[in-house]
Chain A
Amino acid sequence: MRDVAVLGVGMHRFGKFPDKSVTELCRDAVVAALADAGVQWREIEAVAAASSRFSGGKGWGLNGNDVVEDMGSTGIPVYNMSAGCAAGGNAFNIGYALVAGGIYDVVLVVGGEKMPKGFIQTSGVEEETDPEFLRQRCVGMPGPAFWALLCRQRMEEFGTTEEQLAKVAVKAHQVAVHNEYARFRKEFTLEEVLGSALVSDPLRLYEICPVSDGAAAAVICSAEKARQLASRPVWVAGSAVATARFDDGLPRGLAGMVPPGKSYHSEAALAVSKALEQAGAAPEDLDFVELQDNTVYYELAFPEDWGLCKPGEAEHLLERGETLPTGKLPINPSGGFLSFGEATTAMGVFQVCELTWQLRGEAGARQVPGAKLGLGQTLGLGGNGTAVVLKR
């Protein structure tokens, strides 16, 4: 395997952009990533793109083809990756593998999304053989309710308070004020978060990420190319994809077995441990983490799932300010999904952008001091998990 570098990254600000198509959002991100990398569109040898479920892609998730047609059809291969909300992370992994494996020298990874209004309807399939259909028709458990169930379980197990949940959101917005790409750049007080509507008790509106439009892109290349082109490349220390284990205790679909141990979102834990192993790093070596905070719950649960802290310790780290960019365990210095909103299939690439800016020391007022090693993680429907470890 060859060493792979992130040569350039670019993003379209997240928000609601009714007058722009997803391909236009991607165009801005791609043009910015090319400029940042210092390469011409002609030099891109392949595209690994996240397949969108909600926008563009000719209705078939062919979003990478849309990007190529828009930028100029040079005849290059396009890989459209579908993995639910993990599609961006999945596309990065494929791009990485193609460069690391020596197939191409310069690859563009891109993810973009325009989301429909309101909460995501998890299943578009009206078939009684589809577990998501059955779960929604027979029970009525949309995403936020699922997160609320996980959150309540944690509150019972560790005594997590409603104030602590709210503090995760307060912290997210506190750092997002300094991120020009974030959708919400406004601080919220604890009272404002606690005063927001209870969407799915115990979770409140400001504790759940909304859906957004947005796009992100990264140009990655071989070490040889990077040495020619980059003054300060960021290196891919690990990139991994995983799916959920059979003995995962998460209530997916209608039912599963009562698990032998505590293992939720095994797809995320597996991807993270594989990526760290590739990087030859231990969890405590990480200087910061960008994790998928669809809700405040995940910022508390994931660090301990991955061995970044002890079970039940996350609340204390939060209270002491250790998860801020200046703390011992900075989590989501970008502001995270809570501040960006989720443009589902863009998120894995969005994280690569933030990791790169942090590792270059370009993150301004939200900079993690001296950041050398960072982790990004996404997960998606179907039990898809992705992780990437970047280093400088």
Chain B
Amino acid sequence: MATKRVPVVEGLFSEGADGARLTGSRCATCKTPYFPRSDLCHNPDCTQSAMEDARFGPQGTLWSCAVQNYPPPPPARYDEPYRPYALGVVDLADGLRVVGRMAVDDPKHVKVGARVELVLEPLCREEDGTELITWMFRPV
């Protein structure tokens, strides 16, 4: 039986034939991107909030990275035994600066400035084996 995959939080991302995308909004007036979705443009210089659904990714550049060496406090989720993971801040080509985990085997092997792509990967597994999926970034 195939492993059941469930988003860790609903409505934040999707996977289509063209790959993984973050689900957000963009203001048609001032072009400001939002993730997660927003019903209102928060740009104080925008003359008319006009929010449209938008999908972001998959290409981006790593602005910075770090390694989370100790188990994070709740409400973070992880599998036992805890394994350090890499974190990244990524500037997506479509103008969004977004945080996420890095989908790499060795968290030390991540370099600032690297080209990365958005992927959907398991954050952790529930007791029944269900995988909780979140967005991550993988060096290209």
Contact = CB atoms under 8 A, between A and B. Distances in A.
Interface of A: 118-121, 123, 126, 128, 133-142, 145, 148-153, 156, 197-203, 246, 249, 251, 254-259
Given A142-B76, A255-B99, A149 B36 contact: no
B12 interface: yes
Contacts of B63: 153, 251
Given A152-B65, A259-B97, A138 B89 contact: no
A149 B100 CA distance: 11
Contact of A198 (B36, B69, B95): B69
Interface residues of B, number: 50
A198 B43 contact: no
A138 B43 contact: no
A9 B134 CA distance: 50
Interface in B81-140: 85, 87-89, 91-92, 95-101, 107-108, 112-113, 123, 134-135
A257 B32 contact: yes
B32 to A, nearest CB: 6
A120 B85 CA distance: 19
A202 B32 CA distance: 32
Contacts of B87: 139-141, 145, 148-149
A157 B74 CA distance: 32
A68 B8 CA distance: 46
A230 B89 CA distance: 52
A165 to B, nearest CB: 13
Contacts of A126: 75
Interface string B61-81: 001111111101111111000
Contacts of A257: 32-33, 95-97
Contact of A137 (B8, B43, B45, B91): B8
A195 B8 CA distance: 37
A350 B74 CA distance: 30
Given A126-B75, A140-B77, 17 more contacts: A119-B70, A121-B74, A138-B135, A140-B72, A140-B87, A140-B123, A152-B112, A198-B69, A246-B43, A254-B35, A254-B98, A255-B22, A255-B34, A255-B35, A255-B96, A255-B98, A255-B99
B44 interface: yes
B9 interface: yes
B42 interface: yes
Give the most central of A126, A135, A151, A256: most B CB within 10 Å.
Answer: A256
Given A137-B76, A142-B72, A150 B98 contact: no
